[in-house]
Amino acid sequence: MPNKPTSENHGFLGPLINTIKELSGIISEEMILLKTSRPKELEKLLPLKNQLMATYHKEMTELSSRGGLQASGSGSAVRILKKESRIFLSVLTRHTRRVKALKKISEGMIKAISDEVIRNQNQTSRYGADGARSANRLPTSITLNQTI
């Protein structure tokens, strides 16, 4: 039987350890979906991820109110929690890098498209209602400024 931490064998830290493991798994699944160009499938993970994040926040608040790690569990439970926390932070770091890289690629594509539109618009002649050519106004490109 695998060494799965539970609240019985790790005191108050068991639920937190389990939550951290599950969150690491969900975020790793997200990275696989992003890596394999299936971002639409991320929607199915969102409810569970939000629930786990709320549970994580609740568990961390409870841990703090109980006096922190020193007052909450045995030495082995604290070691397991620290190990799982390091793994979790590593997963989060890789996830952040992937999302930032994808954001940069998307912004580059939008910029390239808008630059091409500007070039094409500048090449066309425009005539006004009086039949005279209108002055070539400089078109502007769109800008998306959304934080993910």
**pLDDT for res 4:** 47
**pLDDT for res 47:** 94
Phi-psi map region of 68: left, alpha, beta (phi>0 left; psi -120 to 50 alpha): left
For residue 72, what are the contacts with CB-CB under 8 A and spacing of at least 6?
Answer: 11, 12, 13, 63, 66, 78
Contact 37, 102 (CB under 8 A): no
Kindly indicate the confidence band of residue 142, based on its pLDDT and cuts at 50, 70 and 90: low
- The Cα–Cα gap between 107 and 117 comes to 15
Within a 10 A sphere around the Cβ of 13, how many other Cβ atoms?
23
Lowest-confidence range among 26-35, 47-56, 62-71, 81-90? 62-71
Regarding predicted confidence, which is higher, 147 or 74?
Answer: 74
**pLDDT for res 130:** 72
- Average pLDDT along the chain: 81
Q: Is pLDDT above 80 for 44?
A: yes
The model carries a pTM of 0.68
Regarding predicted confidence, which is higher, 105 or 69?
Answer: 105
Region 139-144 average pLDDT: 57
